[in-house]
Amino acid sequence: MPAPHASIARSLAPLAVLALSTSACAAIEPLETTGLYELFESPAPESECGRDDSSSLYEDDADLRGPHFAVSFSCHFAATEVPEQVAAEAEELAGLPQLIDGAELLINRIAPAPYFEPEDQTATSGAEDHWVEAGGERIDLDHMPVPGNYIAVSVPSGEDAVLWVEDEGRTQGLDFRTGDRVDPVAAYYNGVSLKKRKDDGWKYEDVKLWKGGRYWEIGCWSDWSYVTRALWDRERGWAPAGSAWLTVDFWWCGGDHTFDEVTWELDTERAIKVWDGDRYLDPVDWSETENRGEERGLDVTVVFEVPVETDVLIADFTPVSEIIEHETGDRYRLRNLPEATEWMYLF
């Protein structure tokens, strides 16, 4: 991990030129030079490194993502002076003072549009911390590198540098030279997608719930449900190692205001299960929020811990439930379970 040492990046200044007499034979030396572990950032036009350019990192998976950020390197240069291609686009780097002997400049272009998106699409804040590390030196950034900009760091020749980003307590890096990920959250890059999607609903009519020889016949249906697969969640934080969160959201005609005479309660341990290909998984969390809008009832959220590498999951929803009679408090139960509604999730 990076060493707790800070180095302050200075602003760029043009080369100072020494005036020599006509008889002088001494070599001209710049008054100002660029030393080691200095960091520079420069905006650039909207042009982009070509995928067939030798400097391109497009095919090297030089991409990072987290709950609140995403960043990609699109190309890389290593030289003792700013390459013409970069100088033509990045005015501030074009004026960079000469490097000291034995130094090398690592220059990377931040992709205008990162390959990934942040996991939390509703986030209003970015990653917690970001810095560049080279040779045990830490150079703090006061912001995430700007998409489309160039970022450059001066290092001893042959030295590596890493862009580090910390988000929700997890730190990941991108190697300047190769674009390789350093200490990545591997499940972000295993090809199993993280997304929220709408799915089918369900329909149950003429369901009978009994108490002795008496029963209530009742029905409930909805044309939607939602599923979300995530590594990080606002309520629960990071999923345990080897796992992801699977969240199923749906509406149910429960609560005290859906029916005048009864309340229809789902069994939170038995009404919904998830099959991961080997076994049925029980919910790790179940929450209900009363909906008093047009769809009077309950908005239900059920969370499962699922294997992180599994890209096919099946949820079985069966209204295992009771009815509570408002006037008497009596509970009515199912004698026969209705057929399960199956939701198949392909990630």
d(CA 126, CA 232): 14
Q: Which two tokens stand for residue 329?
A: 């408090």
Output the pTM of the full model: 0.85
pLDDT tens, residue order, the chain (347 aa): 444 333 333 333 332 322 323 333 344 455 589 999 999 999 998 777 766 678 999 888 999 999 999 999 999 999 999 999 999 999 999 999 999 999 999 999 999 999 999 999 877 778 999 999 999 999 999 999 999 999 999 999 999 999 999 999 999 999 999 999 999 999 999 999 998 999 999 999 999 999 999 999 999 999 999 999 999 999 999 999 999 999 999 999 999 989 999 999 999 999 999 999 999 999 999 999 998 777 789 999 999 999 999 999 999 999 999 999 999 999 999 999 999 999 999 99
CB atoms within 10 A of CB 89: 17
